[in-house]
Structure formats: C-alpha cells, structure tokens
C-alpha cells in the first residue's frame, strides 16, 4: 500500500489529503485567505488522525507546484520539502492546472468530449490558464492570459469548452458562446492530485528536493489596445 501526503496551497484554499494507491482516503480543507502558514500543519495532523496514519508511514509527499499565489506556493513547498527531508521520502511535483483538469474530467457535467480549460484568477481580466483535450492531453501550455471576447475562439468554434476555477466566472460573463460550459464548484484541491501523484510515484517521476522551485507566471499576454479616439 502506497500512502502519499497531498498538499495544495496555490490559491486561497488550503487543501491537504492522504491517498492510498491513488485513491483519496482523507481530506481537510480551509477556505480562509492568508491562513496557509498558520493552518497547514494543523490540517496535516487532522487528516493523518482521520485516516489513522502516523507521519512516518507516509511514502511520499505530493505538492501542487503552481501557477498560483506566490506566498501560498512558498508555504506549501517549504512544508513539503521539510517532510521529505525529515522522513527521507520523495517529493512529487504536480502542476496546479493539471490537477484541476483531472478533476474536471470527473465532473458530472463533463460529457467526455471537448476541451478542458482551467482558469486561475490573477487580477482584473487576467488568468493563468491552459487547454486540455478530453483525453487529458495538454494542447495549449499553461500561460498567463488576458481574457477578452476572442479568447479560446479556435476551440469554441469546433467543440464544447468547459471552463472552471477561480477565474472562470469573469470569462463566463465576458463570453456568451453556446459552446461554453461553466463547471461550478471546481477549485484547486487535492481531489485532483491523488491519481496523478500515484502514477508519478510508480514511474519514479520525483523532484529534486534541493532545487525545485514553484512554477510562477508573471508576464501576461496582452491584446492590442483599442484606439481611444
């Protein structure tokens, strides 16, 4: 049995879980902004108690590596590194949007076709985003994007696009395509990490604990500004 500690702190949600052989068996989440540093260790202790495991029984730690909040990512990665160093176990890095895309593929409103487009809110009309097909193959790499009416039109023109995450509501309000489906209540969470983490563990796809850094995205892709006069 392979038990993995899962940590997701890329957004305002502090999410912690335990998976066993790729199945999420316990989870604790806190929906309070700026409490990651104070509450992460508390949530880890709670979820271990819930599944009746000791910390030294964990086989690996999986961390959501971004993109996302600079502070949140730093808090999560520092904790994950600490556990791995102390227990001499591997660290598994998972893209935040990869995990969200996996979650979306299991959503009851996803019909198994079209495109999955996670969107993390940045500011104003800016999001961190990427595009996955229904087979969970990434077809547009994760990048920072400024949303406008033309965003994702090449996908919306041919099939259903499922948007979700903290930045999706503002795109939904900006785009009125009949091919746009908003997946409600889907956020960055350890719910999407369990299967991916177990696969990485089996394939020995682990991070270099000493050198790994969070995946930050800072430069946004702008559109041509309209003339004011």
| Lowest-confidence segment of 20-24, 32-36, 182-186 by average pLDDT | 32-36
User: How far apart are alpha carbons 16 and 161 in whole angstroms?
Assistant: 29
Q: What is the Cβ-side half-sphere exposure of residue 39, based on CA atoms within 13 angstroms?
A: 19
Query: Which has more pLDDT, 7 or 219?
Result: 7
Q: What is the pLDDT of residue 218?
A: 59
Residue with the bigger pLDDT between 227 and 9: it is: 9
DSSP string, 148-166: -TTTTHHHHTTS-EEEEST
d(CA 84, CA 131): 32
Confidence of residue 223 (pLDDT cuts 50, 70, 90): very low
66: left (phi over 0), alpha (psi -120 to 50) or beta: left
**Percent of the residues in the chain that have a pLDDT greater than 70, as a whole number:** 94
* Residue 109 host element (H or E): none
Please give the Cα distance from 104 to 107 (Å, whole number).
Answer: 5
Query: What band does 221 get if pLDDT is binned at 50, 70 and 90?
Result: very low
CA distance 80 to 58: 12
**Nearest 10 degrees: CA dihedral of 173, 178, 179, 182?**
40
24, β-bridge pairs: 19
Q: What pLDDT does 171 receive? A: 87
Residue 130 near residue 151, CB atoms below 8 Å:
no
CA 119 to chain centre: 10
CB atoms within 10 A of CB 2: 14
CB 27 within 8 A of CB 218: no
Residue 14's pLDDT is what? 97
Residue pLDDT, tens place only, 128-181: 999 999 999 999 999 999 998 889 999 999 999 999 999 998 888 778 888 999
Please give the Cα distance from 4 to 41 (Å, whole number). Answer: 16
Tokens 């495109």, residue located? 115
- What span, in angstroms and rounded, lies between the C-alpha atoms of 163 and 183? 6
Domains annotated on the chain, with CATH: 3-96+188-202 (3.30.420.40), 108-182 (3.30.420.40)
Q: What are 73-109's pLDDT values in tens digits?
A: 999 999 999 999 999 999 999 999 999 999 999 999 9
């Amino acid at each position: 049995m392979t038990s993995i500690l899962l940590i997701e702190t890329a957004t305002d949600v502090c999410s912690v879980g335990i998976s066993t052989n790729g199945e999420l068996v316990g989870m604790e989440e806190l929906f309070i902004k700026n409490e990651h540093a104070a509450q992460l260790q508390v949530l880890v202790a709670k979820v271990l108690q819930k599944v009746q495991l000791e910390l030294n029984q964990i086989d690996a730690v999986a961390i959501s590596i971004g993109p996302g909040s600079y502070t949140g990512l730093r808090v999560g990665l520092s904790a994950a590194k600490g556990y791995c160093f102390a227990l001499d176990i591997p660290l598994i890095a998972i893209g935040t949007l990869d995990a969200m895309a996996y979650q979306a593929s299991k959503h009851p409103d996803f019909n198994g076709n079209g495109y999955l487009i996670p969107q993390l809110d940045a500011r104003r009309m800016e999001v961190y985003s990427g595009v996955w097909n229904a087979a969970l193959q990434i077809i547009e790499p994760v990048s920072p994007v400024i949303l406008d009416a033309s965003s994702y039109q090449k996908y919306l023109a041919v099939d259903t696009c499922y948007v979700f995450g903290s930045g999706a509501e503002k795109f939904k309000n900006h785009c009125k395509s009949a091919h746009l489906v908003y997946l409600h209540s889907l956020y960055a969470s350890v719910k999407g990490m369990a299967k991916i983490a177990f696969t990485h563990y089996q394939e020995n796809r682990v991070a270099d604990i000493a050198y790994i850094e969070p995946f930050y995205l800072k430069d946004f892709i702008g559109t041509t500004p309209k003339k004011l006069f």
